[in-house]
Structure 1
């Protein structure tokens, strides 16, 4: 159980992107994707506000926020962005991240001290809730990720669905580095610590548990079913999405997942859309709306000292009607892309 708890603490840091590392070898699925699916994805992203870009500045009078969309796992390609942001962080009144060192420590301790956060000790097991074929597929995929069937059978569905999005080789790599993901978030936190720039959290440490608290049993199982098809080729999936991230095609990441689920999940299109809508609302839109107040308040406090703030969070929080950039624009902020 200790191994699973450690893996859980690592996995909970991956809310916004699957994992990839130099040790994980895969292929970019866009290279072999049928032309009609590429066209459908391109059409789906065409009208999404701020669909491209990773680095932006939001200004309203003398209120200034520098925003960067992050990828939560290590990659050598992070280095130029760290260099670009170093002076911004040094000059900032604070660096705002989804979870700072204090929040990550509290989350890890909570997972260690209360296994019921991830394990359901009383309800029906997953093999009782899934079809035999689904359970066989799931238990195999989770065994590849270090979770024996006897433990997987009692894991909460939200956690299982998250684990399925992470490559087994990435979990191995994180274990070998003491659980350090090396993601852009952590690299920027390190820069803030060196510069003695205060680090602030955008949300409480236990937010993850509230996101899934009121899902119906059917919604819980559909989360697993939607995640299962890509689990078998997690390295390819991770490389595909990571390449899209570093090219700045942020919303393409989201729509790739939608169309992959259409073709491979076995769920009706309407159920895939329902899952995607629910995930977008819970994981992004609702959180974005809460973050706006935190960011605006932070920028207002920084303004008093003639300074701005830096905000670094998962890249999928940037675009969309309810994305952070559009919400700031609705509040009168002028948005300027810095990496285009």
Structure 2
């Protein structure tokens, strides 16, 4: 996973508590109700059919986990039967992005203006420095990173850093490797620099806000990591989105209206816009034969999730056991 290639920290086991399991029943019911208020809130494996076109959709978890083995046993025959496998980014896209970074380090590194140490309040910088040390990154280096990239690093718990550096790749990596071994064509759902361009369009101040939001979860990062993984394997990925929103709303000193605005912007930028752009790619591939499309599980659910967009395009959706 190229976004974490700078990190060198040692990995420890993510030993934490499932935040949903220890939540009061009323709070948990409220989160479930919020998740259930959107289309297709649960399920990681789906079949979409329109006439003769057949698309299998796999919601993935991007980090390594021993439970992926059982999931992959279910997915492997679908990979082998596909005329094409679609992923967020394959080996060619990662190579292209690494080449871009070699040519232009400013894609991730600040080359002008204040450093993060200068731009952030002292207390917030101290928290960030500690969080980055835990991930094996010296603060003086992090101070020159673009804020959006730092927020991405914060989203990865320290206990998962080594696996990301090693390029484990989670279920996505396993699907890509299996497609290559089975000689099934691989294609990307989007251009290699899509997410970079989206972040580049954000103001510096908005990117700093992403750091503030990410630091709010740092004290429970191990618990959050355990909860995220458990929710995925329980096929309840939408709960994570609602849990993250709830935890962000509870951060002292951050107005609720600002949190909601930030969430709306992130959902539009990282999910809605990309989901809409993926639909024509999926439809075009489906004309060639059976398709398997694998991407982060959060992209499946919601009014502008991939499943609902395909349904609006005339596909019939069926949830499959996984």
TM over 0.5: yes
**Which among 8, 13, 19 is matched to residue 4 of structure 2?**
8
Match of 2:281 in 1: 294
Q: How do 1:80-229 residues align onto structure 2 when only pairs under 5 Å count?
A: 80-175=70-165, 179-229=166-216
* Maintained 8 Å contact 1:69/1:312: yes
Aligned pair count reads 319
SS where residue 57 of structure 2 aligns?
Answer: strand
**Which among 290, 315, 318 is matched to residue 333 of structure 1?**
315
Q: Deviation of residue 182 (structure 1)? A: 4.0
C-alpha distance in structure 1 between counterparts of 2:62 and 2:35, whole Å: 23
Greater mean deviation of Cα atoms: 104-113 or 153-162: 104-113
> What are the ranges of 5 or more consecutive residues in structure 2 without an aligned counterpart?
none
**Which among 297, 302, 310 is matched to residue 315 of structure 1?**
297
Match of 2:65 in 1: 75
**Which among 243, 266, 272 is matched to residue 230 of structure 2?**
243
* Maintained 8 Å contact 2:110/2:144: yes
C-alpha distance in structure 2 between counterparts of 1:217 and 1:237, whole Å: 27
C-alpha distance in structure 1 between counterparts of 2:252 and 2:2, whole Å: 29
Greater mean deviation of Cα atoms: 52-61 or 122-131: 122-131
Match of 2:48 in 1: 58
CA-based RMSD: 1.9
Q: Deviation of residue 7 (structure 1)? A: 6.0
* Maintained 8 Å contact 1:103/1:204: yes
1:32 maps to 2:32? no
Greater mean deviation of Cα atoms: 206-215 or 239-248: 206-215
SS where residue 30 of structure 2 aligns?
Answer: helix
Match of 1:253 in 2: 240
With the length of structure 2 as denominator, give the TM-score of the two structures.
0.94
SS where residue 317 of structure 2 aligns?
Answer: strand
Give the 3 Å change call, closer, same or farther, for CA 143–196 of structure 1 in structure 2.
same
Q: Deviation of residue 69 (structure 1)? A: 0.1
C-alpha distance in structure 1 between counterparts of 2:167 and 2:51, whole Å: 39
With the length of structure 1 as denominator, give the TM-score of the two structures.
0.89
C-alpha distance in structure 1 between counterparts of 2:206 and 2:81, whole Å: 45
> What are the ranges of 5 or more consecutive residues in structure 1 without an aligned counterpart?
12-20, 303-307
